[in-house]
Amino acid sequence: MAGTRAAGVSARSEAIYQELILDHYRSPRNRSVLNDADVTITHRNPLCGDELIVYLAMDGTTVREARFTGQGCAISQAAASMLTGALRGGSVDDARVILASYSSMMHGDPASRDDPTLGELRALAGVARLPARVKCALLPADAFSRALDQFEERARS
């Protein structure tokens, strides 16, 4: 029985570390400081000590540039890398929709796994089955959500 259990877990965790995710981890996109950022958010995961800094530069309500720096595991770094690509060039509302769908996917919603707006982020769907790692995948999404909140608060005031 334990053998079956171990094999089952194995299949799941193998699925997580796909080449696309490892590629984003080894060669992260948009991983650098954005000097003219309109919003900068530092987000920590107190459970693992990982720290992520996200930057947004806006053009009106369009995300002109999204970048990140910081350290973390393959899942949080790949998610951050993929999210920057997904958010760039879209509106704040587009970004909200993507972040909401991504969050749903991480909470196990099967519909989100087929959401074309998530693009490469769908490669992270398997993380939803590893509860201990969901927080890693959500760390950059939470950081970008907070960045959008701050941008909108400032725009209102």
Partner 1 sequence: MHRSDFPLLAASPGLHYLDSAATTQKPAVVLDAMREFYETSNANPHRGAYELSGRATDRYQAARERVARFFGLGDPDCLIFTRGTTEALNLVAQAWGRRELEPRDEVVITAMDHHANFVPWQQIAIATGARLRICELTPDGRLDMDHMRELIGPRTRVVAFPHVSNALGTVNPVADIVALARDAGALTVCDGAQAAPHMPVHFDTLGVDLYAFSGHKICGPMGIGGLLGRRTVLESLPPWQHGGDMIQVVQDEFSSWNVLPHKFEAGTPNVADAVGLAAAVEYVDGIGLDTILAHERHLLALATDRLAAMDGLTIYGPPAAERSGVLSFTMADVHPHDLATILDADGVCIRAGHHCAQPLMRRLHVPATARASFYLYNDESDVDALMRGLQRAAALFAVAGSASD
Chain contacts with partner 1 (rule: CB under 8 A): 1-3, 5-6, 9-10, 12-14, 16-17, 22, 25-28, 31, 47-51, 71-75, 77, 130, 132-133, 136
**What strands, in cross-sheet order, belong to the sheet with 51-59?**
39-44, 51-59, 62-71
Min separation Cβ 7 and partner 1, Å: 8
SS3 28: coil
- Can you read off the two tokens belonging to residue 53? 């800094």
Ramachandran category for residue 30: left, alpha or beta (phi over 0 → left; psi -120 to 50 → alpha): left
**Which residue, 76 or 101, is less far from partner 1 as judged by CB?**
76
CB nearer partner 1, residue 25 or residue 151: 25
Identify which of residues 85 and 90 has a Cβ nearer to partner 1 in the complex: 85
- Residue number, 47 or 111, with CB nearest to partner 1: 47
CB of 32 to partner 1, least distance (A): 11
What is the closest distance, in whole angstroms, from the C-beta atom of residue 26 to partner 1 in the complex?
A: 5
**Least spacing, CB of residue 119 vs partner 1, in Å:** 21
Phi-psi region at 70: left, alpha or beta (left = phi > 0; alpha = psi -120 to 50):
left
Neighbours of 84 (CB within 10 A): 24
